[in-house]
Amino acid sequence: MPSVRLHSPLISQCNTNSLIVIAVFSKSYCPYCRATKSLLTELGAKFYTIELDQVDDGAAIQDALEEISGQRSVPNIYIKKQHIGGNSDLQAKKSQLPKLLKDAGAL
C-alpha cells in the first residue's frame, strides 16, 4: 500500500486496529454496497462498515481511499489490510471467500 497521509481517523483506525480484519467503506443507499454486506453476512464474516454518507468526514475518507487504492467508488473493500476492490471483485471471488475469510480470521 503506498504511503499516503491519511485524512481521517477512521482510515487510520482501520490500518492500525488488528481486530478489524475486513473493512467495507460503503454508502447506506448503494445497492452494490448492500450486496457486499449481504454476502459477507451470509458467509458469517465479521466485518467493520464505514457508511461514508453518515460520517462527518465521509468525503475526505473517500478522497483518501482514492489516493490509497486508486478506487473512488463504493463499496471499497479491504481484507487484512489488502485492497480487494469493489462488489464485482468480491463477487468474483465468491468460491474462494470461505477459505480467504477463514485464513484472515474473519470467520
Q: How much is the pLDDT for 80? A: 87
Strand order of the β-sheet with 82-85 is 48-51, 22-26, 76-79, 82-85
Query: pTM score, two decimals?
Result: 0.82
Could you state, in order of their start, the residue ranges of all structural domains in the chain?
A: 9-104
Predicted local distance difference test score (pLDDT) of residue 85 = 96
Residue 44, all three cell numbers: 458469517
Q: How far is CA 104 from the centre of its chain?
A: 14
**pLDDT given at position 13:** 53
CATH of domain 9-104: 3.40.30.10
Query: Cβ–Cβ contacts within 10 Å for residue 39, how many?
Result: 16
Q: Which of the listed ranges 1-10, 33-42, 50-59, 96-105 does the model predict with the highest average pLDDT?
A: 33-42
Give the model confidence (pLDDT) of 3-50 as tens digits.
Answer: 334 444 555 555 554 567 899 999 999 999 999 999 999 999 999 999
CB of 93 within 8 A of CB of 84? yes
